[in-house]
Structure 1
């Protein structure tokens, strides 16, 4: 797993979206700040470009992450995508995958409570860990979606193929 540079200092403002923006800057990721409580970071994964959206809900002291793949699901494969998402989510400990039919988008989503729900403080290590986890899950399961959409595999076959652990290097 890649360890990200936080780029944060002891004097950083505690607002979680500010922290996500500093994380993006420290890792040379392009980003767009939509408002005080929303940011989109643009990351390049091994398999695809990712849009990583961060939303702060002050009333719940919760940060929501949504990581969207830069892929579109062919019309005839939607049922298989729903099925494979169900199978993948059974294996997930943190977060889950979704298919948004209106946007034709596959995404990983997770919400995380602030470290200190009274103040809304969100630690920089927590921020980096959540982003690393989301990126890792997207990288891990991207081939599964590709195998179903373009490889002609069933959801079960795709998961089995993608979950093989290779030893060594070629």
Structure 2
């Protein structure tokens, strides 16, 4: 994946949604702004294409990023997926996976508290922070996508799916 640093360009810090727009534009991702506090983008991952939604809550100074892998869990598989979510979330250092109860949509969500030294000062996001937030979400989604597929479509137990999907190769071929 090409990064802003690879391009030899560093944008000055900007309002969080503005900087995410800049990041998506820089990397050629399609996106749509929904006002000053929300942006939605389409980003290709290793296994699927993700819809990313970023929401800026200025009063709380929180930037929330949601990645939707377009996976809907059928009612019959929800208990197994809840168990899977528990096993996966134990492994994460940033964010968490969840399933929306209304429609069974799987998603990854994390939030970042942004602050400044001066309460009257604007809150900005750097290009590096934008890159870290987006890439962390995509990396986690890509890492665990096979686990969800094994549980949903191959009938594996959550523990077996985790073991099969996260098997690390040791040595060289």
TM-score, length-scaled by structure 1? 0.90
Write out aligned runs for 1:129-140 (5 A): 129-140=132-143
* Number of the residue aligned with 2:44: 44
Are residues 1:97 and 2:100 paired?
no
* Number of the residue aligned with 2:11: 9
1:24-55 CA distance string (max 9 Å, x none) = 10111111111110000101111111001000
1:37-88 CA distance string (max 9 Å, x none) = 0000101111111001000010111100000111221221111011100110
> Whole-Å Cα distance in 2 between the matches of residues 86 and 150 of structure 1?
19
* Number of the residue aligned with 1:114: 114
* Contact 2:11 2:127 (C-alpha < 8 Å) held by counterparts: no
Shift of 1:167: 4.8
* Number of the residue aligned with 1:150: 153
* Number of the residue aligned with 2:29: 29
How many pairs does the alignment contain?
167
SS at match of 1:35: coil
Shift of 1:3: 5.1
TM-score, length-scaled by structure 2? 0.89
1:114-167 CA distance string (max 9 Å, x none) = 153643222221111111111100000000000000011000000111111125
* Residues 168 and 19 of structure 1: CA distance in aligned 2, closer, same or farther (over 3 Å): farther
Coordinate RMSD, CA, aligned: 1.9
Are residues 1:125 and 2:124 paired?
no
* Contact 2:11 2:126 (C-alpha < 8 Å) held by counterparts: no
> Whole-Å Cα distance in 2 between the matches of residues 4 and 104 of structure 1?
33
* Residues 22 and 169 of structure 1: CA distance in aligned 2, closer, same or farther (over 3 Å): farther
